[in-house]
Amino acid sequence: MNTVSKDKRTFHWKRLTASHQFALQGIRLAMDEPNFRFHMAAAVIAILMGMWLSLTKMEWVLVLFLVFGMFILEIINTAIEKTVDLVTEEYHPLAKQAKDLAAGAVLLYAFLSVIVGLIIFIPKLMELFLKI
């Protein structure tokens, strides 16, 4: 027997819908950031190359995890930067460290993405162009 009243279920769905709208607004805000747009362009190139080179299912899983992981980290980095900017308008060494650490996480993940991309794409390109 369902003990939850219809009003509570309706409120739950309204709250869920509102939270999705807030999340979509966050993604739209991220798209205004130059670094996010750069990563979007790189993602489009990687996806188009993956389609052209007929990646395996496992290769697609890796590429998609890397692409969406980069988007997620870039959004978190932007959130940290904006939060730090909100808290202090003047220079503070800890504020700089927080921003630098977040940017460093994005940079490390970008290096990982490039390395894995090279491991996946170079052999396929060599096979295609050099007929190895």
| CATH, residue 121 | 1.10.287.3610
**Sign of torsion over alpha carbons 103, 105, 106, 110:** positive
Element holding 114 (H helix, E strand):
helix 93-130
Number of domains present in the structure of the chain: 2
Asked whether residue 66 falls in the same domain as residue 14, the answer is: no
φ/ψ region of 92 (left if φ > 0, alpha if ψ in -120 to 50, else beta) reads beta
Asked whether residue 121 falls in the same domain as residue 102, the answer is: yes
Asked whether residue 2 falls in the same domain as residue 41, the answer is: no
**Hey, what amino acid is at 26?**
G
Which residue is catalytic, options 33, 74, 81, 89?
Answer: 74
Evaluate if residue 99 carries a pLDDT over 80. yes
SS3 of residue 2 by DSSP: coil
Q: Using alpha carbons, select from 66, 65, 80, 64 the residue that is nearest to residue 30.
A: 80
Specify the pLDDT at position 8: 57
Q: What is the mean pLDDT of residues 95-99?
A: 96
Lowest mean pLDDT among 9-13, 61-65, 108-112: 9-13
Spatial separation of the C-alpha atoms in residues 32 and 12, rounded to whole Å: 31
Q: Tell me which residue range forms the domain holding 89.
A: 31-130
pTM: 0.84
Asked whether residue 101 falls in the same domain as residue 118, the answer is: yes
Specify the pLDDT at position 14: 87
Residue 89 bears catalytic tag: no
Residues ≥6 apart with Cβ < 8 Å to 35: 74, 77, 106
Spatial separation of the C-alpha atoms in residues 99 and 78, rounded to whole Å: 9
Specify the pLDDT at position 54: 96
